[in-house]
Amino acid sequence: MAFFSKAPARWLRYVAGSYGMAVLGGGIVLIMSLAALCAPWLAPYQPDALHLDAILQPPCPDFLLGTDVLGRDVFSRMLYGGRVSLWVGFVAVGISVSIGLTLGLVAGYFGGWVDECIMRGVDVMLCFPSFFLVLAVIAFLEPSLLNIMVVIGLTSWMGVARLVRAETMSLKQRDFIAAARLSGSRTSKILFMHILPNALAPVLVSATLGIAGAILLESSLSFLGLGVQPPDASWGNMLMDGKNVLEIAPWLSLYPGLAILITVLGYNLLGESLRDIFDPRLKEQR
Amino acid sequence: MQRPTLFSVQLGALAMRCGKKILWMLLVLWGITLISFWVIHLAPGSPTDMEITLNPLASEGARQQLEALYGLDQPLYVQYWEWLSRLAHLDFGNSLSADSRPVLEKILERLPLTVGMNVISLILTLLLAVPLGILSAWKQNSLFDRAVTVLVFLGFAMPSFWLALLLMMYCGIDHAWLPISGLTSMDYAQLSVWGKVRDVSAHLLLPIIVYTVGSLAGMSRFMRSCMLEVLRQDFILTARAKGLPARTVIFGHALRNALLPLITLLGLSVPGLIGGSVIVESIFALPGLGQLFYGAVMARDYTMIMGNLVLAAVLTLAGNILADVCYGLADPRIRGSQKEA
């Protein structure tokens, strides 16, 4: 307690200096997630309720961020659109991290031709014109939230696989792994109980940044009309609607984009600061 | 006179490496075509949907005729084999859309616009990112560095289509400085040569800004971290310790080393640029490759989609190889290590 009472200002400066980015990023992520989760209670209107007497209203006390072409409340739709972003971010990254973790562990631990095969596969996937393929596959499979999440997940696991492989290769040389092997642990136990927990820190960083990427990708797809389908709201398809009336209703194109910017910024800040916290040596370099 | 022979040995090693690399790349290309072909053909929907299902007068017989015409009634592996053997002669087949022109012809007429815009914006990006990165690294943690870092984070988080919308709103609608869609104005045909050039440039300015901002953040951040990495090394300390002016240390000693990794990054940025063109071109209604692909996807034009995917993959792989070769040529240490290997 003495520490706090003596120099609160200095303590505050210390926290802001070392964790400022983390607090800011985490705060943004927390607020955005809460807003999305509590959308049914926070939204003043139903997201698809039409107010045909109030079409294309600019922001006003009744409609905080205005209304769109069909008189739907932009603020309510943005809250529900936040759920889409949150959902896509977590599920897509969940899929890509699971694939990347498993392949990376196997490649790094077993080495040899297994490693060779997996890493060549990673090379092929990295050369894939992935946005083209994602676009084609989603257009063919009927655009839907589920398809987007799966396709984004399936085309973005390579970074995690490389990270985990490198970590595993260095971890398996350590004494505690040798000890586990000598004491007769099964390989699967060594992989998932001993190596995995020690390789998680960089994965967490990469996953946080991956959520940001997935949110951006989903909004681009929705903007092209290949993502979340109307009448469901997502930030991307709200912008698509707004584009057609850019000249008379600019607020429709303004706020959903701002929401994407802030959310992605939040996840990026959080990811970068986690990296610094987990590996302070790197901080000097960046 | 040992130097020329040593150099030619190194060049030979480099050529050997390139040969191996190209073989591997061909294999990768084949893998990419295999996966994409099956994914695309097995997905629900067919190119005949547009012409048959949407037309109440067309019978089931007409669909079968059309499928036979396109070769879609064959088993998938036959279709793939035929497509692949045609590809070996650089024949991408005919588009399955109504005009049924050769895919290659349609792609080639769209290519210059997309590639041109990307090259211009890449040059702009480099011209801006390299000085920004150098300055931020040299003045690490200064006010300038912090300001650039904030901008970089904003740039990373900025959806390109939103930036495009904002620019259209500000420059196109509020101030009416620039046209916001298409490649040419209505009165294009009547303009003089100089007027035509001005007209097209005015139409391309906003898209190029969007492209440039999109890659600027990543590039300048990367440049900064490469520069920091180099600046911490002993030979920089030596150079500074013997009293060389900052300019000589930065441009004479540090920059050449810091630029090397940038070559690799440029090679790797190709897929992103190709993907980005779909969005930018669809917003600004530019008749480029991205729009062609988007249209093909929507019409399930198999041959056109495959043609675009192959082209994108070839460009990506070419970027990788080029980066590799340039890296080898630019960095004597790598040339040396290849000889030993």
Q: B180-221 pLDDT, tens per residue? A: 778 888 777 788 888 888 888 888 999 999 999 988 988 998
A 10 A CB-CB count for A4 gives: 9
Closest CA to B270 of B215, B330, B325, B308: B215
Q: What's residue A283's pLDDT?
A: 56
On whether the CB atoms of residues B31 and A124 are closer than 8 A, the answer is: yes
pLDDT tens per residue across span A115-160: 999 998 888 888 777 788 788 888 888 788 888 899 899 988 999 9
> B105-340 maps to which CATH number?
1.10.3720.10
Homologous superfamily, domain A12-285: MetI-like (1.10.3720.10)
- pLDDT for residue A26: 92
Averaged pLDDT score across all residues of chain A: 86
B173: nearest CA partner in chain A: A247
Segment B240-279, tens digit of pLDDT: 899 888 888 888 888 888 888 888 888 878 877 888 888 8
Task: State yes or no: pLDDT of A282 exceeds 70.
Answer: no
CB contacts, 8 Å: B165 with chain A: 239, 242-243, 246, 253, 257
Question: Would you state the pLDDT for residue A105?
Answer: 93
pLDDT at residue B123, as a whole number: 92
Interface ipTM = 0.85
Residues of B in contact with A142 (CB under 8 A): 44
Q: Coil, helix or strand for B102?
A: strand
Grade residue B341 by pLDDT with cuts at 50, 70 and 90.
very low
> Is the predicted pLDDT of residue A285 greater than 70, yes or no?
no
Handedness of CA A160, A162, A166, A171 (dihedral sign): positive
Q: Which positions ≥6 away from B180 have C-beta within 8 Å?
A: B168, B171, B172, B173, B206, B284
Mean pLDDT across chain B: 83
Is-contact A25 B156, C-beta < 8 A? no
Determine the Cα–Cα distance for residues B92 and B72; give it in Å rounded to an integer: 16
Q: Which residue has the higher pLDDT, B152 or B63?
A: B152
Q: Report, as an integer, the average pLDDT of B69-88.
A: 83
Do the Cβ atoms of A219 and B159 come within 8 Å?
A: yes
Three-state DSSP class for B14?
helix
Other CB atoms within a 10 A radius of the CB of residue B119 amount to: 11
Identify the DSSP state of A67.
B
Inspect the interface and report whether the beta carbons of B297 and A139 lie closer than 8 Å: yes
Q: What was the pLDDT predicted at B41? A: 82
Q: What is the pLDDT of residue B340?
A: 41
Strand, coil or helix: what is A73? Answer: strand
Phi-psi group of A66: left, alpha or beta (phi > 0 → left; psi -120 to 50 → alpha; rest → beta): left
pLDDT at B83: 87
Q: How far is A244 from chain B (nearest CA, A)?
A: 10
Over residues B54-65, the mean pLDDT reads 72
Q: Is B67 exposed, middle or buried (0-12, 13-18, 19+ CB in 10 A)?
A: middle
pLDDT at B321: 81
CB A78, CB A256: distance < 8 Å: yes
Contact B168, B180 (CB under 8 A): yes
For every residue of A121-137, DSSP letters joined together read HHHHHHHS-HHHHHHHH
How many whole angstroms separate alpha carbon B263 and alpha carbon B130? 12
**Closest alpha carbon to A242 in B203, B204, B166:** B166
pLDDT at B56: 67
Chain A: residue nearest B140 by CA? A286
User: Hey, what are A285's tokens?
Assistant: 């370099």
pLDDT of residue B54: 64
Check residue B52 and give its pLDDT. 67
Give yes or no for a cis peptide into A231 (omega within 30° of 0).
yes
Q: Which of B20, B114, B161, B225 to mutate to test the interface with A (most CBs of A within 10 A)?
A: B161
Which amino acid type is present at position A193?
Answer: M
User: What residues of chain B, 150 to 179, have a C-beta less than 8 Å from chain A?
Assistant: 153-154, 156-162, 165-166, 168-169, 173
Amino acid B143 reads L
Residues of chain B with CATH 1.10.3720.10: 105-340
| Contacting residues for A260 by C-beta, under 8 A, at least 6 apart | A85, A215, A216, A219, A235, A236, B157, B159, B162
pLDDT higher than threshold 60 for residue B339:
no
- Label residue A16 by pLDDT band (50, 70, 90): low
A225: nearest Cα among A96, A135, A128: A135
User: What confidence score (pLDDT) does residue A33 get?
Assistant: 93
Tokens (6 digits) for A182:
């000598």
Among A273-282, B132-141, B269-278, the range scoring the smallest mean pLDDT is A273-282
Distance CA A87, CA A211 (A): 10
CA dihedral of B127, B133, B134, B138, whole degrees rounded to 10: 160
For range B159-165, the mean pLDDT: 91
Q: What is the pLDDT of residues A229-264, one digit of tens each?
A: 888 889 999 999 888 888 888 888 899 999 999 999
Average pLDDT over residues B115-141: 90
Chain B 31-60, residues with CB within 8 Å of chain A CB atoms: 31-32, 35-36, 39-40, 43-45
The residue among A18, A122, A131, A132 with the most chain B CBs within 10 A of its CB, best to mutate, is A132
Indicate whether B166 pLDDT > 70.
Answer: yes
CB B33 within 8 A of CB B310: yes
How many Cα atoms sit within 13 Å of A234 on the Cβ side? 28
